[in-house]
Copies of this chain bind each other. A is one copy, B any other.
Amino acid sequence: MRTSDDIRAIGERIKPRELANWHDLLGAEPHVASTEGDWRVIGKIESAFKNMGLKTKVHEFWALLPRPISAVLQIVSPESRDLILKEKILEEDLATSHPELDPGWNAFSGSGAVTSEVVYANYGRKEDFAKLKELGVDVRGRIVIARYGGNYRGYKAKFAEEAGAAGLIIYTDPGDSGYAKGLVYPEGGYANETCIERGSLQTLGYSGDALTPGVEATKDAKRLDMDKVGLCTIPVQPIGYGAALEIMKRMQGKGVMEEGSTRAWQGGLPVPYRFAGGEALRVRLKVVQDREIRRTANVIGVLEGAVEPDRMIVVGCHHDAWGFGACDPLAGTITLMESARVLSELAAGVKRPRRSIAFCAWGAEEYGIIGSSEWVEANRDMLATDAVVYFNLDMAAMGADFGSSAGPSVRGAIAKVAGDVPQARATETMVLDAWKKRGSDALDATLPAFGDLGGGSDHVGFWCHVGVASAGFGAGGSPGTSYHTIYDTLPWYRKIVGDDYEPARMITHVAAGCAQAFANETLVPLDPATMVREFRRHLRDISARGVSAGVWPAASADAPSVEGLPAVCEALEQVDREAIETHGLLAATVKAWREKAIDERTTAEELNDLNARLLAMDRAWILTEGLPDRPWFKNLFAAPDRDSGYAPWILPLLRHVVEEKDAGGAEAAIKSYRDVLRSLRELAEVPG
């Protein structure tokens, strides 16, 4: 088959040595967004793209990018003790002594000082603060200490602030990543007692620059008032578990194991965890950051298509990091660079792709998915019309176990490519086989188990704002994590993930193979029918969730009807019936189109129309006015979880109804989904 040959040709050109070179090039120094190191990385990527013959552009933007000024964390009583806010320098990894490495900090912390008692809030999730309230543990005016995990750290700060806390300390628990998981760095890959997870706290109703939602963050863009967008106001400081132990071991209140419902709050520190520290333990937290608008940039390199140059496959990964970024983002960025190198080499030597492929190295992802969101906002209309698909590679090559979270309409095409890519560190095994061994799709055993695409990286603008079919690629399984610490270095990567660059070779092969397939197949390999099938699956889930939350009765319930609610059940059944019909129509239609696409009598205009319709079918899920309370998110199929950040809300309009227990809003939400289905059916009707 033609495609398999293409994929083989790609594979032959990918070089582990080149991947290691990209890593050396981009991971040579810390490169936090907007710093001098960041600009040197931008320059290196620009040169590389130009050397490949790509049409290259440095897309500058001006975003709110805070920088740390100072921070202090002290135990004030019962004795005085300063806690360490930076990682220890390691002889075994002298990169850790680089002078440009920042101490531990959380971007967008409030600036200020507070001295108070402490309260432990487990992972600082919505339900954790609700539990503290239920137990009568007063958080007001206190410094909350919460462990990393369970949600996006910005929500820990948001919920702490909403609960009235005066400050927040976030620490890495050794039960989640540390000695309880394996050997610690530098002996092994897990967090030692000084490891501090940096990261942003930005939690707004949109991705991208905090001050320019919906528009490009140009130098002169009209900006919102910084004090009114809802940034964090309390001081927030991340620490390692060595420092956390100093606080936790001095706490004196009731133990979490004394409540049956909070037994899982006990972590891996060698003390009984407690809800409150008591009066005797007082802690002082002072954090100072600036909040400046700073300049950084995306680097875009386009391999122009020969037949449909306006239609664009977008492959992206950010380039900014909290330190050296050997894993985050470079474990992905190097596969972006190598994909670009290999595909441009093939295009020069064989022939240009049918459609254009844009390779995008995003800036300032770490602060709030900023660079990609600004580029999407700047190119919204073009993308809505012409973007075929977006592939995201953030931190992709972290091990040999391949996985993907993807919109349903691209899953089949990805699986097909994975069936032609050799599995890393194996012989005579393809990625698809190894992947399926770890789990199959619940409804289609020929597919591997894909994840649902939520928030957390640069696909968000494409997928949630514009409705471009998207997928993230990744591969894990290595024993450790240096996530957002100063230990995210090349020595860490080469020791823990390996220095064979086999995972990066595999990721590059899948990513470049998918880009090639979407660029070259006459009819783009999008699959709108599977999107509807998944809609039905999630409709069942959300119906059950609504029943168990008491928002609406079970469809078959004989319980006395609550006014209006039987109508919800009927409407849910109605939309499901329409989905069955729509699924059948789309499956048959796209099958016919595929046959038409290989029929020589089909004209270029007809083909162009069919491709436009397939792209429009993904965009049919876009609701122009967006989701309630966060209109920037417009995709009715998926959005980031409003209360945790990373996980997805699937069918977010209906999910919103369930979470708000707003049964009255159910019918309007269901109507929106019926509109989507009607649009899909209309798109399937080719006139003449």
Q: A residues touching B (Cβ–Cβ < 8 Å)?
A: 174, 179-184, 188, 190, 255, 257-258, 266, 268-272, 479
Q: Tell me which residues across on chain B come within 8 A of A258, comparing CB atoms.
A: 182-183, 188, 479
Contact of A257 among B181, B268, B271 (CB under 8 A): B181
A269 and B272 form a contact (CB under 8 A): no
Chain A interface main SS type: loop
The complex places the Cα of A268 from the Cα of B266 at a distance, in Å, of: 11
Q: Using known A-B contacts A174-B270, A270-B268, A270-B269, determine if residue A255 contacts B180 with beta carbons closer than 8 Å.
A: no
The 8 closest A-B pairs by CB, nearest first: A182-B257, A270-B270, A179-B272, A183-B255, A183-B272, A179-B271, A182-B255, A180-B266
Q: Tell me which residues across on chain B come within 8 A of A255, comparing CB atoms.
A: 182-183, 188
The complex places the Cα of A575 from the Cα of B269 at a distance, in Å, of: 55
- Beta-carbon nearest neighbor of A182 in chain B: B257
The complex places the Cα of A440 from the Cα of B681 at a distance, in Å, of: 55
The complex places the Cα of A174 from the Cα of B258 at a distance, in Å, of: 16
Nearest Cβ on chain B to A179's Cβ, whole angstroms: 5
Q: Tell me which residues across on chain B come within 8 A of A181, comparing CB atoms.
A: 257
Q: Using known A-B contacts A268-B270, A272-B188, determine if residue A479 contacts B257 with beta carbons closer than 8 Å.
A: yes
Q: Tell me which residues across on chain B come within 8 A of A269, comparing CB atoms.
A: 270
A257 and B174 form a contact (CB under 8 A): no
Add 12 more A-B contacts to A182-B257, A268-B270 (CB < 8 A): A179-B272, A180-B266, A181-B257, A182-B255, A182-B272, A183-B257, A183-B272, A188-B255, A190-B272, A257-B479, A268-B268, A270-B270
Nearest Cβ on chain B to A240's Cβ, whole angstroms: 13
Q: Tell me which residues across on chain B come within 8 A of A270, comparing CB atoms.
A: 174, 179, 268-270
Q: Tell me which residues across on chain B come within 8 A of A180, comparing CB atoms.
A: 266, 272
Nearest Cβ on chain B to A122's Cβ, whole angstroms: 15
26 A-B pairs whose Cβ atoms sit less than 8 Å apart in the complex: A174-B270, A179-B270, A179-B271, A179-B272, A180-B266, A180-B272, A181-B257, A182-B255, A182-B257, A182-B258, A182-B272, A183-B255, A183-B257, A183-B258, A183-B272, A184-B272, A188-B255, A188-B258, A188-B272, A190-B272, A257-B479, A258-B479, A268-B268, A268-B270, A269-B270, A270-B270
Q: Tell me which residues across on chain B come within 8 A of A268, comparing CB atoms.
A: 268, 270
Nearest Cβ on chain B to A266's Cβ, whole angstroms: 6
Q: Tell me which residues across on chain B come within 8 A of A188, comparing CB atoms.
A: 255, 258, 272
The complex places the Cα of A188 from the Cα of B269 at a distance, in Å, of: 18
Nearest Cβ on chain B to A148's Cβ, whole angstroms: 17
Q: Tell me which residues across on chain B come within 8 A of A272, comparing CB atoms.
A: 179-180, 182-184, 188, 190
